[in-house]
């Protein structure tokens, strides 16, 4: 996070240059950002629907970038913190490490994808669901919302160590541990 904190002044300066540059080359420069800026400074000509679309797109990007930035450093530390001997010591360790690695790769690519949602790459957010039901259905699958109601239908518990874990159920049977671990890795990869 220190890297991001030290990069903020440079990113702010680059964002001004980006806006000036992109406005010169856009086919339609009066996009949501233009309408929002026009409304913000009190000029006429802005369109409320364009401003709402712009706000929804930034809400999606802001929520998921914050979520991903909170996951990537911990996931990276978790993956590189394992010793090779520990990973190879049991099927449980191997499965846990492989699943952690897959989630790290997945979230790292998604983070880069959200960071690069910009018009010069033709990768900007074109629409975001305008209905509250859509937002509730999507957001209830992510922390902190999924962790709020312990024991509820959507309650998700990370790791599931202890008496409720697959490691406990198959303890004493290395073959079943290996098969179950391989299935978990395969299903995570899909």
How crowded is residue 181: how many other Cβ atoms within 10 Å of its Cβ?
22
Nearest-10 crossing angle of helices 48-80, 32-40: 110
Predicted confidence at residue 153, as pLDDT, reads 60
Q: Which residues of the chain have pLDDT under 70?
A: 1, 147-164
Asked if 125 contacts 117 with a C-beta cutoff of 8 angstroms, the reply is: yes
Asked if 16 contacts 23 with a C-beta cutoff of 8 angstroms, the reply is: no
Predicted confidence at residue 8, as pLDDT, reads 85
0.75 surpassed by pTM = no
Can you give the three-state secondary structure of 37-51, one letter per residue?
HHHHCCCCCCCHHHH
Predicted confidence at residue 120, as pLDDT, reads 75
- Per residue in 16-42, pLDDT tens? 888 888 878 778 888 888 899 999 999
* Secondary structure (3-state) at 184: helix
155's CB contacts (< 8 A; 6+ apart) are: 146, 147, 149
Asked if 122 contacts 51 with a C-beta cutoff of 8 angstroms, the reply is: no
Asked if 23 contacts 37 with a C-beta cutoff of 8 angstroms, the reply is: no
- Per residue in 1-18, pLDDT tens? 677 788 888 988 988 888
């Amino acid at each position: 996070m220190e890297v991001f904190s030290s990069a903020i002044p440079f990113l702010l300066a680059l964002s001004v240059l980006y806006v000036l540059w992109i406005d010169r080359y856009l086919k339609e420069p009066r996009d949501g950002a233009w309408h929002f800026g026009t409304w913000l400074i009190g000029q006429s000509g802005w369109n409320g629907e364009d401003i709402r679309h712009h706000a929804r797109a930034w809400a999606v990007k802001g929520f998921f970038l914050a979520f991903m930035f909170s996951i990537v450093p911990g996931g990276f530390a978790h993956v590189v913190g394992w010793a090779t001997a520990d990973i190879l010591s049991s099927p449980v360790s191997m499965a846990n490490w492989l699943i952690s690695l897959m989630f790290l790769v997945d979230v790292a690519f998604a983070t880069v994808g959200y960071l690069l949602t910009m018009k010069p790459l033709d990768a900007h957010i074109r629409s975001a669901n305008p209905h509250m039901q859509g937002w509730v259905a999507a957001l209830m699958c992510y922390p902190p919302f999924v962790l709020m109601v312990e024991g509820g239908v959507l309650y998700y518990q990370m790791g599931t160590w202890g008496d409720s874990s697959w490691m406990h159920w198959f303890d004493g049977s290395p073959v079943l541990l290996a098969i179950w671990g391989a299935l978990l890795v395969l299903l995570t990869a899909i």
